[in-house]
Amino acid sequence: MTVRHFLDITDLSARDLNTVMDLAQADISMLGSPLAGKGVALIFEKPSNRTRQSMEMAVVQLGGHPIFTRGEEVGFDQRETVEDVTRIMAGYHHVVAARVFAHSVLQRMAAVSSVPIINMLSEQSHPLQALADVLTMRQELGDLRQKTVAWIGDYNNVARSLVEACSLEGMNIRLGCPVGYGASNSELTRIADLGAASINQFESAKTAATGAHAVHTDVFVSMGQESETAKRLVDFKDFFIDANIMSVATKDAIFMHCLPAHRGVEVAGEVIDGSQSRVVTQAHNRMHAARGLLAHLMGVTL
Ligand code: CP
Ligand code: NVA
């Protein structure tokens, strides 16, 4: 039987995404205990608050046992090969999840694994975050078809997964990125082909935010990019989200950020701590979305 991995949002069809959202919102008692007596390995090469906590709790809620391991302990390709680590862990666990520097490590894991591999963030994508983002937007905005999402800042791992998911949802997508930090034309086409109502990229934060129902951002310097900090803070200075930027979005627009956030760098305190912000709900939804995904991978149906 083919093993279903979750390395990217595109591992799900639009219909699968719907199913995961339904499972995420279902009462836990409806899901049974598909992980009873089973382990889930959680390997982290980078720090985490939300991803670790939400995945551990989602596993517990499905009756399973999470085991957290730091990247240094498994030592991918140092202590032993990625393939050896994966084959061994797949004998102990029903799911193996990893946060890695290189997305290729996840692909190598998936190539040899007899159990699902889940991406808990790579330099390329952060699909678990996108599931929580879609869940939050659905709860706040209702049917997402033809609704408008704006991404302001770096077209990074979080952005890539978010717009893949928003395209599957049939949304209008507006990117506002500095020159050199946006999506390529082929990437815009790839995203559009997933079903977006429209996709447009601008070099102005204000233009991108215009008419948006949800305005998203992330840090300007991701984990692993610390040496680029000084240059990035200059390059992104016009992509700071404040009340002026939010004023061009729709009147009831929500503000979203995957967190951790830096107030005064990518977003003003008045926005992230203001009435339009949904960042806490969004973070809490990480657990519900992770539970929905795990239930889906375990074959639970409602
Ligand atoms: N948003 C997110 O993935 O947070 P952590 O890095 O704390 O897991
Ligand atoms: N883009 C950020 C997201 C952190 C959750 C990073 O990769 O560091």
Q: Is 296 a catalytic residue?
A: no
What pLDDT sits at residue 1?
63
Contact at 8 Å (CB) between 67 and 39? yes
Residue 263 catalytic? no
Handedness of CA 134, 262, 221, 52 (dihedral sign): negative
* Closest ligand 2 atom to 154 CA: 1
Among protein residues, the one whose CA lies closest to atom 4 of ligand 1: 50
From 131, 52, 132, select the one nearest 97 (Cα to Cα).
52
Residue 283 Cα to ligand 1 midpoint, Å, equals 8
Taking the centre of ligand 1 as the mean of its atom positions, its distance from the CA of residue 47, in whole angstroms, is 8
CA of 219 to the centre of ligand 2 (A): 7
pLDDT per residue rounded down to tens, the chain (302 residues) = 689 999 999 999 999 999 999 999 999 999 999 999 999 999 999 999 999 999 999 999 999 999 999 999 999 999 999 999 999 999 999 999 999 999 999 999 999 999 999 999 999 999 999 999 999 999 999 999 999 999 999 999 999 999 999 999 999 999 999 999 999 999 999 999 999 999 999 999 999 999 999 999 999 999 999 999 999 999 999 999 999 999 999 999 999 999 999 999 999 999 999 999 999 999 999 999 999 999 999 999 99
Amino acid identity, residue 260? Answer: P
Q: Let me know: does 104 contact 130? Beta carbons within 8 Å.
A: no
What is the per-residue pLDDT for 2? 86
76 token code pair: 């991918």
Q: State the amino acid at position 235 in one-letter form.
A: D
Model confidence, pTM: 0.98
DSSP notation for 107-153: HHHHHH-SS-EEES--SS--HHHHHHHHHHHHHHHS--TT-EEEEES
* φ/ψ of residue 265, rounded to 5: -105, -70
Protein residue whose Cα sits closest to atom 1 of ligand 1: 258
Taking the C-alpha atoms of residue 150 and residue 213, their distance in angstroms, rounded to an integer, is: 8
C-beta of residue 21 within 8 angstroms of C-beta of residue 287: no
195: Cα within 13 Å, side-chain hemisphere = 15
Burial class (CB in 10 A: 0-12, 13-18, 19+), 280: exposed
Chain mean position to CA 21: 14
CA distance 298 to 292: 10
Mutate to test the pocket of ligand 2, among 258, 262, 286 (most ligand atoms within 8 A of CB): 258
Going by the DSSP 8-state scheme, the letter that residue 69 receives in this structure is E
